[in-house]
């Protein structure tokens, strides 16, 4: 929680203008945008009278979009613009999956904005998708509802991002939660632990012959297109196919699954209620 110190008298007569800022890593893959559009739609339904803005945390993605003629603000620019436009109370929702580096940077950015004089009175940051035990249970249930019908020797590998940040522990933890419900669903990451190589061994041990690869990322963007199902030697698709598995890719981000989106919306609701 970040509250600006205000002289009480001034505070009393100042009018309130509330706004929402949704902050995602971002994507430059046009087909992946459906996930963020769906999130926008769900947030709009939950907050019909509040203005909703977006910011992308990835400078690389913003630069790429700019070259295509599309401009998306960074969190610091988006918040500065809102401050200039007289927003007094802002709920910032992290559209990230885990409370990792991007989330930490977002908290720091909000703190920085609150250090600048004459800005918003209060900014609250909503937790990312996964934060506590209840979030994990809800996400696991939501993901399991949307699986294809699995035959006896079929399994699922979810592709998470992974991070050097300590919150990478969410990914091995998810394996534990999935294992409480099914023997055929596994979590692997592109840039953290568990790796696809660890997971390949598990698939073999469990007698799985066919694997569905499904993103565990808000959008089916660059990592899904390249690392998951890309047509090159290091893609998970190729790796598993070469190891003798039948593989099918499902290109759907978690932002397209409303049972998952409702958790982000709940976290936004929590933040908004704290304003």
Beta carbons of 104 and 167 less than 8 angstroms apart? no
Closest CA to 208 of 157, 171, 250, 147: 157
Beta carbons of 102 and 140 less than 8 angstroms apart? no
- Residue 208 phi/psi, 5-degree rounding, is -85, 135
Question: What b/e string do you get for 160-175 counting C-beta neighbours within 10 Å, with b at 16 or more?
Answer: bbbbeeebbebbeebb
Beta carbons of 141 and 259 less than 8 angstroms apart? yes
To the query of whether residue 161 is one of the catalytic residues in this protein, the response is yes
Per DSSP, the three-state class of 74 is: coil
Beta carbons of 221 and 27 less than 8 angstroms apart? yes
What lies within 8 Å, CB to CB, of 21 at 6+ separation is: 52, 53, 54, 55, 75, 78, 79, 82, 90, 91, 92, 93
Catalytic annotation, pick one of 15, 41, 96, 161: 161
CA gap 169, 186 in Å, rounded: 14
Per DSSP, the three-state class of 187 is: strand
For 270, the token pair is: 């929590």
Closest CA to 146 of 210, 216, 99, 81: 216
Positions annotated as catalytic residues are 161
């Amino acid at each position: 929680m970040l509250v600006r110190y205000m002289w009480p008298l001034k505070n009393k007569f100042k009018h309130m203008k509330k706004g929402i800022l949704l902050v995602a890593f971002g994507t430059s893959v046009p087909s992946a945008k459906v996930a963020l559009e769906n999130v926008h739609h769900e947030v709009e339904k939950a907050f019909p009278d509040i203005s909703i803005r977006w910011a992308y945390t990835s400078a690389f993605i913003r630069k790429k979009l700019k070259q295509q003629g599309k401009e998306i603000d960074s969190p610091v620019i988006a918040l500065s613009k809102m401050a200039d436009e007289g927003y007094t109370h802002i709920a910032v929702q992290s559209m990230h999956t885990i409370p990792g580096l991007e989330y930490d940077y977002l908290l720091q950015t909000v703190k920085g904005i609150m250090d600048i004089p004459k800005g918003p009175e209060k900014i609250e940051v909503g937790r990312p998708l996964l934060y506590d035990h209840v979030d994990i249970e809800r996400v696991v249930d939501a993901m399991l509802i949307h699986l294809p019908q699995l035959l006896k020797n079929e399994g699922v590998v979810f592709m998470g991002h992974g991070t050097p940040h300590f919150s990478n522990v969410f990914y091995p933890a998810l394996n534990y939660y999935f294992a409480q419900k099914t023997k055929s669903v596994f979590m692997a990451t592109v840039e953290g632990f568990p790796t696809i190589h660890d997971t390949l061994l598990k698939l073999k041990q469990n007698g799985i012959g066919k694997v569905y690869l499904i993103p565990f990322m808000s959008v089916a963007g660059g990592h899904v297109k390249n690392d998951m199902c890309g047509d090159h030697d290091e893609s998970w698709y190729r790796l598993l196919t070469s190891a003798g598995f039948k593989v099918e890719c499902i290109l759907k981000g978690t932002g397209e699954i409303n049972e998952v989106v409702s958790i982000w919306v709940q976290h936004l609701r929590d933040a908004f209620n704290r304003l």
